[in-house]
Amino acid sequence: MYKKILISVVLVIFVLAILLGLYKILNPKNKEVLAKGNYIEATFLAEAIRPETADMIKIGDTLYDSQGKKCFTVTDVKVVPSEAKYVYYDQNLLYVENTSKLKDVYIVAKSLDKKYAWAYPYGKDLIMAGAHLALYGENWKLWVTVLTVKEVK
């Protein structure tokens, strides 16, 4: 009788230990599990922005999500003249001009954290090709289109 109780208690403790171990491993709030995977590198396009804003974006800058959490480091910036059309009214006439004053900015940035899902979480948005979202720098905010997302080591 004593052996049956002892064996039952040992088995219950063993099963509970296995369940606790599985919970710790599979719990999505576990930082070790969340950190598994590769970093991502994303290319963002901000179209037709002011030249002074384009000049503020530098290699090594940090990008933040809407809650102020650091998410990316800028690894490359390419500023090119925009093919934007500038529309204005003058004396009840509509004018459309091509302007090279505005700039298109291509920003390549590497994530600071490792990805842990099919898309990289960025505040309330997900970083995936084709997504439109806001990028926040130290002194600027841009509405961008995500052109590419790739894994990097």
Q: Residues 55-92: pLDDT tens digits?
A: 999 999 999 988 898 999 999 999 998 876 767 778 88
Q: Residues 84-127: pLDDT tens digits?
A: 676 777 888 887 777 668 889 999 999 887 665 556 778 888 88
Domain ranges, ordered by start, for the chain = 1-34, 37-152
Closest to 121 (Cα-Cα) out of 65, 63, 47, 37: 65
Alpha helix (H) residue ranges in 27-153: 31-34, 51-56
- Tell me what pLDDT residue 144 has: 96
What does the DSSP 8-state code read for residue 41?
E
This model's pTM is above 0.85: no
Which whole-number Å values give the CA distances from 101 to 79, 85, 97, 130, 143, in the listed order?
12, 10, 11, 26, 18
Q: Residues 14-62: pLDDT tens digits?
A: 888 888 877 766 655 545 444 555 788 899 999 988 889 999 999 999 9
Closest to 108 (Cα-Cα) out of 70, 61, 48: 61
- Tell me what pLDDT residue 98 has: 72
Query: 45 has which bridge partners?
Result: 106, 145
